[in-house]
Structure 1
């Protein structure tokens, strides 16, 4: 462990099974369940979990926005929609690249960016 490195992130999830299926299909995450109301992941050094709750992370309301990197943003966007994600902000350009925002099945908002 690196000293003072951000080590763990947690999100609420209305539907744990749908959220697990989504992240497994799109980003190839694997989960470990701890009871019926919590599941954890450890993917490429990012550890975290989802807990059962009728809440969702929304950057427009002050929630943190986690951003994935993609070498092929259009392909990743297709995978997101095919897995049941909702595009809430289509691909747009910004200095240094482009990105889009999506909601996974439990309503948490994430983004994907690319420098291509």
Structure 2
């Protein structure tokens, strides 16, 4: 199963981004420290990254899977290039990749 369920955006203030969406639309906000906030809305979670070392250069769509290793094999077999090796984050593990057209995405799974 592969399903887009997360989009991460760069932000100068993760807290301010979260507060905006909470006030504007009533969406649920979960802060993960000073540099990261999740916003849950309409079946999709939006993440706001304020740490310059971790910040994506553009919105980062994230694909959910049940098998991270199989997803990596599929990405590479289809011509994608892994740009960030698998790493842990609150709730699971993920890796980043670039598709042949140049866009960077990520694949994640809950803790295995």
What is the TM-score of this pair, normalised by structure 1?
0.47
> With CA pairs under 8 Å and 6+ residues apart, which has the higher RCO, 1 or 2?
1
What is the TM-score of this pair, normalised by structure 2?
0.49
